[in-house]
């Protein structure tokens, strides 16, 4: 079986993917697939994977890796590419090989594709909704435990952008950090010291909750500011007050009904936790077409 899909990913994502697949298969199979033992060991099957609904398909490298870990002799014929849109009953791929192997890998493989496709699909809806504006859709750290890199990858497949991956590669100053440090000025000064002693390329973003805090942050030199739960008039006023001095990001209470109006205020970025934490899995189905002994 070709491992081309896996090789197209970054080294970091390849490692995360293989860990994802290892853990998923161990969780599902443990000491063995009892039900698969009902099938003759030499039986060969031809199966087709289809989508039951409209979706942006994502996660094909995870499916490929699940199959490969169980049985590398099972062949996969892809009918679509990663990131393509499918309609109900459209074929995603066909599998040919040992029936036991396909059945054992099926659940873990489909779990990855249905989840990652859901994230990619939701992201694409938001991206398309604001395509007439300059704003971009970003993710958050509100991901499923153990699947952060996978879901953030799915966001990019849907046309969105990634925020920091974790606590280690960027600074996001929130209200509790400000309170603990004593003030916006003090916490921004502390962040600057952290950058100097670790990596001057890391981003420093500060969250503000009103226009007064925004002005204070701008006066203190903030260059990346998150506007937390601002209503649309307040966002428009924030853009005016900012006058291009900092990158402004809207977050909180954003949905498909209001995202365009938010983007039209002139903010640069819109971060949405729902694209990774409020997703509904895409309905997929794997059906055997031919079975031979």
**Does residue 245 sit in the same domain as residue 185?**
yes
**Does residue 117 sit in the same domain as residue 215?**
no
Q: What is the pLDDT of residue 134?
A: 97
Q: What is the pLDDT of residue 198?
A: 84
CATH classification at residue 285: 3.90.1170.20
Q: Are 168 and 202 in contact (CB under 8 A)?
A: no
Burial 66-90 (b: 16+ CB within 10 A, else e): bbbbbeeebebebeeebbbebeeeb
**Does residue 30 sit in the same domain as residue 96?**
yes
Nearest to 129 by CA among 239, 6, 274, 288: 274
Burial of 240 (0-12, 13-18, 19+ CB in 10 A): exposed
Number of domains in the chain: 2
Q: Which residues contact 1 (CB under 8 A, 6 or more apart)?
A: 64, 67, 68, 72, 73, 74, 75, 76
CATH classification at residue 186: 3.20.20.70
Please state, in angstroms and rounded to a whole number, the distance separating the CA atoms of residues 17 and 7. 11
**Does residue 147 sit in the same domain as residue 240?**
yes
Nearest to 270 by CA among 83, 169, 129, 118: 129
**Does residue 87 sit in the same domain as residue 218?**
no
**Does residue 55 sit in the same domain as residue 153?**
no
**Does residue 81 sit in the same domain as residue 120?**
yes
281 a known binding residue?
no
Catalytic residue check, 193: no
207 a known binding residue?
yes
**Does residue 15 sit in the same domain as residue 115?**
yes
Residues of the chain with pLDDT under 50: 1-2
95-115 per-position pLDDT tens digit: 999 999 999 999 999 999 999
287 a known binding residue?
no
Q: Are 282 and 87 in contact (CB under 8 A)?
A: no
DSSP secondary structure letter of residue 222 = -
Catalytic residue check, 131: no
**Does residue 139 sit in the same domain as residue 43?**
no
Nearest to 5 by CA among 21, 25, 27, 24: 21
**Does residue 22 sit in the same domain as residue 38?**
yes
Q: What is the pLDDT of residue 3?
A: 56
Catalytic residue check, 84: no
**Does residue 123 sit in the same domain as residue 135?**
no
DSSP secondary structure letter of residue 223 = S
Catalytic residue check, 175: no
> Of the residues 52, 174, 195, 223, which is catalytic?
174
Domain range for 218:
130-277
252 a known binding residue?
yes
**Does residue 193 sit in the same domain as residue 204?**
yes
């Amino acid at each position: 079986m070709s491992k081309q899909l896996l090789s197209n990913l970054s080294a970091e994502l390849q490692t995360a993917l293989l860990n994802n697949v290892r853990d998923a298969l161990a969780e599902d199979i443990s000491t063995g697939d009892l039900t698969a033992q009902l099938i003759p060991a030499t039986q060969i099957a031809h199966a087709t994977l289809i989508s039951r609904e409209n979706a942006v398909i994502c996660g094909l490298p995870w499916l490929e890796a699940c199959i490969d870990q169980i049985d590398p002799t099972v062949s996969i014929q892809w009918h679509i590419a990663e990131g393509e849109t499918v309609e109900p009953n459209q074929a995603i791929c066909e599998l040919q090989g040992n029936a036991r192997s396909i059945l054992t890998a099926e659940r873990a493989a489909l779990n990855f594709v249905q989840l990652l496709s859901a994230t990619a699909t939701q992201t694409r809806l938001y991206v398309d909704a604001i395509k007439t504006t300059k704003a971009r859709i970003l993710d958050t750290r509100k991901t499923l435990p153990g699947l952060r890199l996978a879901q953030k990858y799915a966001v990019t497949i849907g046309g969105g952008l990634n925020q920091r991956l974790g606590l280690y590669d960027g600074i996001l100053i929130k209200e509790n950090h400000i309170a603990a440090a004593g003030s916006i000025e003090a916490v921004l000064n502390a962040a600057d010291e952290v950058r100097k002693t670790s990596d001057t390329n890391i981003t420093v973003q500060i969250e503000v909750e009103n226009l007064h805090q925004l002005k204070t942050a701008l006066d203190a030199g903030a260059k990346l500011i998150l506007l937390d739960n601002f209503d649309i008039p307040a966002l428009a006023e924030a853009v005016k007050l900012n006058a291009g001095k900092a990158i402004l990001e809207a977050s909180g209470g954003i949905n498909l009904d209001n995202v365009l109006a938010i983007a039209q205020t002139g903010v640069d970025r819109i971060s949405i936790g729902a694209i990774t934490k409020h997703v509904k899995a895409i309905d997929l189905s794997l059906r055997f077409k031919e079975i031979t002994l």
